[in-house]
A and B are shown apart, each in its own frame.
Chain A
Amino acid sequence: MATLLIRGGRVVDPSQGIDRIDDVLVRDGQVVAVGLAGAQPIGKADETIEATGLVVTPGLVDMHVHLREPGREEDETIETGTQAALAGGFTSVACIPNTEPPIDTQAAVEFIHQKAARADTCNVFVVACVSRGREGKELAEIGQLVEAGAVAFSDDGAPVYDAELMRRAFEYCRMFDKPILAHEEVLELSRGGVMHEGLVSLVLGLGGMPAAAEEVLIGRDIALADVTGGRLHAMHVSTGGGVALIREAKRRGIRVTAEACPHHFTLTDESLRGFDSNFKMSPPLRTAADVEAIIEGLVDGTIDCIATDHAPHAREKKMLELDRAPFGILGLETAVGLSVTRLVNSGRIGWPRLVEAMSTLPAKILGINRGTLRPGSVADITLIDPNLSWTVDVNSFRSKSVNSPFHGWTLQGRAVATIVGGRVKYRLG
């Protein structure tokens, strides 16, 4: 019986209301206990990790990751993407099905599971398509996809455009208690756009994507979730108006959850002044007022969780004119640093809220048995040095791509060890 003792760290587990200096004992891939009362005495573990000065959390969960495999292995593979996840402190990722072909069959789900098992890195949970072929015309075989292990449904990359199809999807998924992860964008309003529509896009002459493009569809889907009783999860919320709509929907008791990405609470549309395609993503970087609204949403819980929308693109694809370069940036290896720097060390939220947003709640939304250090739970654990100051270097990333706008940034806070199923899968340095 292999045992692992994580000694003397600040254990933060919102699922049990724990935030104290304590030890965590793991045996055979499961958490035995936080605190050693009644457990094996100190000193007899097979392996001990000194965690003094570190924050010990249930393994981080990123519910919005593009692993690109199958079909775009030049950008990322399940192997490289999950390695990047481990280096970023994530023990679980949910992969989005806008691959080629899209993940809309049991066989495709099985392919992901097999590839993930072979990689033997972090857990990969599969999000499957809402619509067959991601074409937005008819429902994918959602029941069979659930049987194959799909944890949620999404046509991300694009919205589910047909309002009736979205309504049916909400109704049908309710039967399995699965959420629909929705990319909210009215395409006619953002057509030809490469950045947020505002003064900066006006001055640069770049096509704009107005905040209303996101807010209109969030509004529609809240109404549909209301009428169906289905579960809406709004992906990558980027506008103050979107936060307000979700806050109001939650107040009314509608089943809505939401995520925000680190770049949306860190950068603004001013970043586009250098015309660098590493600042081009959808939804786009918004204004300082939107950034503040996203942070307020995270503070008061309107925005449940932080997800990265990790979107790798091979270097040559991003090195194009701004309108031809694809949308999206890397996220896995900078998420902890940005969140700790922007939210925790700046005093906006405490560690328990951060861990809730990066582990407890994404696990809960996906309905996966993770995000907790309760006795008997799977021993997925992340150790974070909250004060480690480090400089982002895309050339040291484990991701296959380098499209991060944060290259050269100095951040505080970094995962120093990532433990999956009781095994140390990543250690910094």
Chain B
Amino acid sequence: MSTAAIAHETVPSHWQHRHLLDLERLTSDEIRTLLDTATLLKEATDGCRRKLAVLNGTTIVTLFFEASTRTKTSFALAARRLGADVVDFSASSSSLSKGESFIDTAKNLEAMGIDAVVVRHQTPGTPHLLAQHLSVGVINAGDGPHEHPTQGLLDIFTIKERLGDLSGITVGLVGDIAHSRTARSNLWGLMKLGAKVILCGPPTLVSDRWRELGVEVSHDLDAIVPRCDVLNLLRIQFERQNTRPFPSVREYAHLYAMTRDRLKRAKRDLLILAPGPINRGVEVTAEVADCPQSLILGQVANGLAVRMAVLWLTCGPRAAARTGGESSSSATRIY
């Protein structure tokens, strides 16, 4: 699609959300809208390299209570590509370290006239809590082990770019499901789009209870590798564990690392994703991480497209209202 052909696109009227808190509560149509919008924006920006002006005058705050390099940079870049101003609020240097509650902090930011806050926090539900207390848009950039909706969307976007329709494909999510927000967002998104999901890892990290949602649970990677069209290798989150859920890294890698031997038994066109930062030698060996089937780097580029889509859909109507509220206003257009 050429840039000219989408010159008059506005935020689809059926998109009703000011926030993006999780994928669990989105419909499959809403997820498709997000993905289609990401495609549109990726093309309109010449592969996320050109700037648009659709969020001119919009101020977006990145409020990260947990360390992040890639996600925060990706959100900031995505916001700037759309013409928004970005303010980074570093939680460690703020009054939070003086004991102010995070809701008070966020309310102060709101009072400064911002439009949306992109929040990462170690506690599940914190973005939901902010959305209840603030009148600005809230975008979840990862809430503890709960969800990381834009990561889930970009994984799915990447799969979709390669495979087209997701219905009927089999995706294995392998590793630390217990502590992985990426796994949860992938799970919901994939299920809603009709993919078959297999969760794989030791029982200490992959509860059999997941079966109650209708997904397959396996503790045997060798058994599932030949059946998968996609493998998503999730990082072991040592920092979130009370006691180590397996005897040693060596034993974990022996049972669950994606190695060249395992790759030989996979489908020839298997796609491998790893949301990273990966522990090479734990979830995946270096030779597999760097093999042609690996999409680990491609995912990072698509992150920009997905985050532009999220920001535009959630903040676009507000930006349009500010510039007069006419749907023909240039501020709402992708051009």
Contacts and interface: CB of A to CB of B under 8 A. Distances in A.
B146 A191 contact: no
B24 A321 contact: no
B124 A206 contact: yes
Nearest to A191: B242
B124 A322 contact: yes
Interface in A180-220: 191-192, 198-199, 202-206
B209 A205 contact: no
Interface in B207-243: 207, 209-210, 212-213, 242
Interface in A334-372: none
Given A275-B124, A275-B129, A322-B124, A205 B102 contact: no
A324 interface: yes
A321 B129 contact: yes
Contacts of A316: 101
Contact of B101 (A198, A204, A319): A319
Given A275-B129, A316-B101, A320-B101, A203 B123 contact: no
Nearest to B147: A205
B242 A192 contact: yes
A211 to B, nearest CB: 13
A274 B127 CA distance: 11
Which label, helix, strand, loop or mixed, suits the secondary structure of the A interface? loop
A205 B124 contact: yes
B126 interface: yes
A47 interface: no
A267 to B, nearest CB: 17
Contact of B209 (A199, A206, A320): A199
Interface in A109-148: none
A323 interface: yes
B303 to A, nearest CB: 21
B144 interface: yes
B145 interface: yes
B192 interface: no
Interface residues of A, number: 18
B184 interface: yes
A275 B21 CA distance: 12
Given A205-B144, A275-B129, A321-B102, A198 B242 contact: no
A275 B125 contact: yes
Given A198-B209, A205-B147, A322 B125 contact: yes
Contacts of B207: 202
Contacts of B212: 199
A203 B184 contact: yes
A274 B147 CA distance: 14
Contact of A206 (B103, B121, B146, B213): B146
24 contacts: A191-B242, A199-B213, A202-B209, A203-B24, A204-B124, A204-B146, A205-B124, A205-B143, A205-B144, A205-B147, A205-B181, A206-B124, A274-B128, A275-B126, A319-B103, A320-B101, A320-B103, A321-B102, A321-B121, A321-B125, A322-B123, A322-B126, A323-B122, A324-B123
Interface of B: 24, 101-103, 121-126, 128-129, 143-147, 179, 181, 184, 207, 209-210, 212-213, 242
Given A191-B242, A203-B24, A275-B128, 4 more contacts: A205-B146, A205-B181, A275-B124, A275-B125
Interface of A: 191-192, 198-199, 202-206, 274-275, 316, 319-324
